[in-house]
Structure formats: structure tokens, C-alpha cells
Amino acid sequence: MRCVVTGSGGQLGRCLVRRLEAHAGHEVVWAPDRAGFDLSDPDAIASLFETGAGQGATVLFNAAAYTAVDRCESEQPLAHRVNAEAPAQLARRCLEADCLLVHVSTDYVFSGRGHTPWKEDAPTAPINAYGRSKLLGEQAVAEIDPDALVVRTSWVFGPGRNFVAAIVDQARKRRSGELTGPLAVVDDQVGSPTWAGHLADGLIALAERALGADGSGEPPRGLYHLSGSGSTTWFDFARVILDRTGFGDLEIVRRKTHELDLPAQRPAFSVLDTSRAAACGVRLPAWEEGLDAHLASPEGAALMESGAR
């Protein structure tokens, strides 16, 4: 596969580039970050396959999005341009260029009012501006090119700013005395943490199957769910992070989401049913394995070192 990876500066984008570059059978022809390819600029998307940067690509992994959930509430026009309009333009350009689009979406398209994992055909009802913009984006992609892959995922963590790093940073500051009092984490949201490295592997595997690169069965097309196996709460996730990074003695208390008074609502239950991807032979490891893999990565090693001090 000759690949373009948008959003290469983000958690997933970085892992996609690393995985593809380490694979002898694939080539990254262009991997722009936000500065190099602004999804809010229609002209940039229009010239994607004409300037030379994306010429000859067979797969475009769209790992770029406006993911600041709370800021999306006050910056809805920007969120709409990046998360809804840009994927539609990408789908048109990829269809014209005979390039497979792999577009990444989110568990936030669901209301969170449920207790069983969400299937791909479950009714969508996003409860915040971010979720609404992402839903419009995935709907546009599906309408323009039904053969494109739209992959919803959840609670992603990897290289860069993420929940794991934030928890360790808060723990380190309490150990040093910079902050006092117990660490408070919400316990009324349930989801599936997903390591970006495992997600990148899964996306690449789906793309290979879609292009017939692995020679197996009916090629996947359309909508899939892909996230770390198992589920947990943010509180329990934080507890495991602390235990595995040398902060097992740190006190942690439970909070309710409404106590945080955040601009955007969060779905209470966003576990995704990943059986459709599993039927294609693509299943991600347990979220705990993802955490271990992250902590064994160069970025994770730095976190482990901060816990050891």
C-alpha cells in the first residue's frame, strides 16, 4: 500500500506512520501534520492528489480531527469544517483518485444511555457538538463512497497528550508536593481504552483486507467498530495506571461527571461491539495489554521513569 496519513502529529497518526514505515510491504508517501495539511482549508483538500504530495496513493488514513470536546461547544463552526465538511471532501477526492479512504470516527456518536455494547447499526444520538460533527462526517463519507472504511473507536491513548500522561503528571506533582490532596477521577463513565499502536495495527489490517492484500474472503467496506477489548471506568483505568507506573500508594477518590461542570456532556456508556471487525479477522488486544504496550514504548518509558523517582 502507498499511504497518506493525515493528522500525523496526533496520537493515532504517529502510530500509523511508525507501523507503516516498519512494514516492508507498505510505503508512506505523505504524512502531514496540521501545519502541513489544514483540514479546515477546502483548497488544501482539493489539491490533495494534484500537488504531487498525494499522487499515486492507494490508501488515505484520515487520523486528523478536531477532538477538543469542550472547545467544540464554543467553536462549532470550526468543528463542523474539520469533522464534517473535510471528510466529505476527502471522500470525493479519494473516490476520484481510486484511493481507499479509511476515516476514523468516535464512540461519541452514541447517546451513552445504554448498558450493552453499541453495534454499528445502533441508533446514533450524540449529546455534544463534537459527536454531532463526527456523525455528520461519517455519514457524508458513507453517502459519497460506500466502499470507504469508517472506523469508530474509543478512549484513545498513545504518544502525546492523553489520559495516561495526565494521570501520571498529576501523581508526580502530588508526590513532589507541588499539588496536595487526593486525585479525583470520574467513575460513572464506562468505555474501552484503546492504545493508538493497537488501533493503527487494526486499521492497517482492515485496509489490507479491503484492498485484497491478504487474499482472504469478502473485502470489508463501510462501518466498523474497533477498540481495546474489555471495558472499564475512568476511575478504574486511572487506578491501574497509577499501580503500573510506581504511584500505587497515591490516594484516588471517585467523582461524578456532573460535578466537573464541563461545557460538553459525556456519554455514560460508550463500549463498542467489535464483532463485525472480528469477523474479518481483526480484533484488538485487551485494553490492559494496550496500557502495558504503551508503557513499554519510548513515551511510556519516560512516564515510568517519573514514577520511579
Alpha-carbon Rg for the chain in angstroms: 19
pLDDT, residue 217, reads 67
* Active-site residue identified among 66, 108, 130, 224: 130
Distances (CA, A) of 202 to 121, 145, 267, 274: 20, 21, 24, 11
Is residue 78 helix, strand or coil?
A: helix
Is residue 271 helix, strand or coil?
A: coil
Average pLDDT over residues 201-213: 92
Q: Which residues contact 148 (CB under 8 A, 6 or more apart)?
A: 91, 94, 95, 100, 101, 102, 103, 141, 142, 221, 222
Tell me how far apart the alpha carbons of residues 23 and 88 are, in angstroms, rounded to a whole number: 29
pLDDT over 80 at 248, yes or no: yes
pLDDT over 80 at 305, yes or no: no
pLDDT over 80 at 304, yes or no: no
- Whether 224 is catalytic is no
Q: Which residues contact 111 (CB under 8 A, 6 or more apart)?
A: 125, 126, 127, 267
For the whole model, what pTM was predicted? Answer: 0.95
